[in-house]
């Protein structure tokens, strides 16, 4: 029932994000065939059969860019929505006087968000893959098939960070703003220290993204085990920290 509540509370944002990224992926996929003739939009399918391999690669990279944005946005917005509104003062009294442990509340919310993130990543990407494969008759779409799963793994730390920040701030909007601030500050600091101090802080998404973007040369870049391992570690560490905070919290 609590899972239903999380879904009910986050469904508006989930549907909005799903529609937005599906429409974006749809547009990216159909854009090569669209042209204007005499003031009217026409769809020219021959564009897809002229050089299908290159077209698949270019469209895949465009979809991948959209996927990056969707991963970040869905992690932050969904993460803040489902937990935030009820760990704010007042509604927290209601939630924490139901016979459910705070641990189960934290992880149920996390699980619902992960399911929603997977759907937001998979549906637009696989839809683009099906359209692209049908139009080009080139079904070598490994990039599009692998990418959403990798991006979900990369997005999980962001979801965890949002959960943690929301728990820290005890506010949905506070969690969202703080997560965005933490990520922005990290990226700025990383830029500032890299050159003058010769420090190389780990980038947030670079490993998997670079690997995915070199899809047509699979051995040019090593598989990003390090980035994915770090993502998995943070994906577990942040919600665990949030769980600890909430278990210790008083109302």
Partner 1 sequence: MSDAAILTEGFSKSFGARAAVSELNLRIQPGAVYGFLGRNGAGKTTTMRMLLGLVRPTKGSARVLGLDPTHETDLMRILERVGFVPQCKQLYGWATPAELVRMNKAYFPRWSDEAAAQLAQRLEIPMKTAFKKLSVGNQSKVALLLALAQGAEVLILDEPTAGLDPVMVDEILRTLIEDHVSQGRTIFVSSHHLGEVEQICDWVGILEEGHLLLESRLEEIRQEFRLVIASGEGLPAVSSTDVVSATADGRFRRYVVAREAERFAAELRSQGATILEISPLGLRELFLHLVRKEDPCTPGNAGAKAAPVSSFS
| Minimum CB distance to partner 1, residue 247 (Å) | 8
Task: Give the CA count within 13 Å in the CB-facing half-sphere of 220.
Answer: 9
Are 113 and 79 in contact, with CB atoms under 8 Å apart? Answer: yes
| Residue 6, both tokens | 């999380």
Query: Which residue's CB is nearer to partner 1, number 38 or number 97?
Result: 97
Query: Closest Cα partner for 179 from 71, 77, 109?
Result: 77
Task: Please report how close the Cβ of residue 95 comes to partner 1 at its closest, in angstroms.
Answer: 9
Smaller CB separation from partner 1, 98 or 137: 98
CA proximity to 155, closest of 73, 223, 215, 241: 73
Of 3, 167, 177, 179, which Cα lies nearest the Cα of 86? 167
CB of 170 to partner 1, least distance (A): 13
Paired tokens of 8 = 């009910």
Q: Smallest distance from the beta carbon of 110 to partner 1, in angstroms?
A: 19
- Least distance CB 85 / partner 1 (angstroms): 7
Q: Which residues bind partner 1 (CB under 8 A)?
A: 1, 4-5, 8-9, 85-86, 90-91, 93-94, 96-101, 250-251
Residues 175/84, Cβ–Cβ less than 8 Å: yes
Nearer to partner 1, 50 or 247 (CB): 247
Q: And the tokens for 237?
A: 């560490």
Q: Which lies closer to partner 1 via its Cβ, residue 8 or residue 45?
A: 8
Q: Based on CB atoms, which residue is closest to partner 1, 95 or 221?
A: 95
């Amino acid at each position: 029932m609590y899972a239903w509540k999380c879904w009910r509370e986050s469904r508006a944002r989930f549907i909005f994000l799903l529609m937005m990224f599906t429409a974006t992926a749809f547009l990216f996929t159909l854009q090569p065939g669209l042209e204007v003739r005499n003031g009217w939009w026409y769809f020219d399918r021959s564009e897809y059969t002229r050089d299908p391999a290159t077209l698949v690669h270019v469209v895949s990279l465009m979809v991948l860019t959209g996927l990056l944005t969707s991963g970040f946005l869905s992690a932050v917005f969904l993460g803040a929505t489902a937990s935030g509104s009820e760990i704010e003062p007042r509604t927290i009294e209601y939630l924490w006087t139901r016979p459910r442990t705070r641990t189960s509340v934290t992880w149920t919310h996390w699980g619902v968000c992960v399911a929603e993130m997977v759907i937001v990543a998979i549906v637009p990407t696989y839809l683009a893959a099906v359209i692209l494969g049908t139009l080009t008759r080139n079904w070598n779409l490994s990039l599009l098939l692998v990418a959403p799963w990798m991006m979900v793994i990369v997005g999980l730390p962001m979801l965890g960070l949002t959960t943690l920040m929301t728990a820290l701030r005890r506010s949905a909007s506070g969690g969202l703003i703080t997560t965005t601030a933490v990520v922005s500050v990290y990226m700025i600091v990383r830029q500032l220290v890299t050159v003058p101090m010769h420090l190389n802080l780990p980038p947030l998404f670079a490993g998997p993204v670079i690997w995915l973007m070199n899809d047509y040369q699979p051995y040019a870049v090593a598989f990003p085990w390090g980035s994915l391992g770090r993502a998995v570690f943070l994906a577990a560490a942040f919600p665990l920290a949030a769980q600890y905070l909430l278990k210790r919290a008083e109302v």
